[in-house]
Structure 1
Amino acid sequence: MSAPQDERCPCGTGEVYSSCCGRFHGTFAQSQELTAPTAEALMRSRYTAFALASHGTFAQAEQYLLATWTPETRPRELALDAPGQGPDEALDWVRLDIEQVEGGGPFHDDGSVTFTAHFRTPGGPASSGSAPSSSSGLGSGSTATAMSTEALTLPAPHP
């Protein structure tokens, strides 16, 4: 299954996927090249990779996430559950809020993005990592939020 090119991008910019994070994912899938020009664009593309992976629509999500992870904190491997498998099989990524961006512009080598990722689980609250989280009930499932600050190293600019 492939990503929905003409649907709104999960990252929340309002752009369609192919004009937003799809550009970065597509280039990576073809050439393993990272092309997000800013720390915010990189963070949005990472969130979108998680969101699409949870629906099985971005086959290279694990490789993309590892390649975009800061080397100092990158795990050796990443195993995202395929849809219908594992404890997060019904994880639904709801929204990404960018809280703050420091550096990470087109003329910077690195930057920091503080964000809140909102997601819904059928069995109760969930959060990613050790980030502070909060939840509120929604019918049979729960919505959770995880706030985190990520230090990002941007890809080298291309001539």
Structure 2
Amino acid sequence: MMEGFVSLKLILNGGMVAIASMLSYLGLNKEAFTIFGYLLLIDYITGVLKAKTLNECITSNKMKYGVISKFSLVLIPLVLALAAKSLHGDAENMLYVGMNILILSETYSIIGNIYTIRTREKLPEWDAVAALGHKIRSVLIRLSGDEK
């Protein structure tokens, strides 16, 4: 029993070191990334509570999809940072804007979940990935000098 706990701690600590190393290498704002991670967790929990409040069926498939969906959001700033690093470009502003859009999206989702839990009324969804895509496209067009 104790050996399994030690193994789990080693794996988690190793993962944290790997993530911290990657964030340092890529130049991502660690504070913003950490806040985003916490918001993802809070949004997941409030989303489950919202589903229970609305008497929606919570299945293991839905929960797996939710975890995968949230994890894919974490990949967005990492992919942006890797692309910027490979292009030897200064994409600090694009990363900053991207992280802020994702943080605002999770904040809106959490507030919407809490609102729904309290009132049993759903707020409209806001697609952060689409907003981020439009912003990145406009920045890339501006950088290429191809504004039309």
The alignment's TM-score, normalised by the length of structure 2, stands at 0.29
Larger CA Rg, structure 1 vs 2: 2
- Whichever structure has more strand as a proportion of its residues is 1
- Whichever structure has more helix as a proportion of its residues is 2
The alignment's TM-score, normalised by the length of structure 1, stands at 0.28
- Larger RCO: Structure 1 or Structure 2 (Cα < 8 Å, ≥ 6 residues apart)? 2
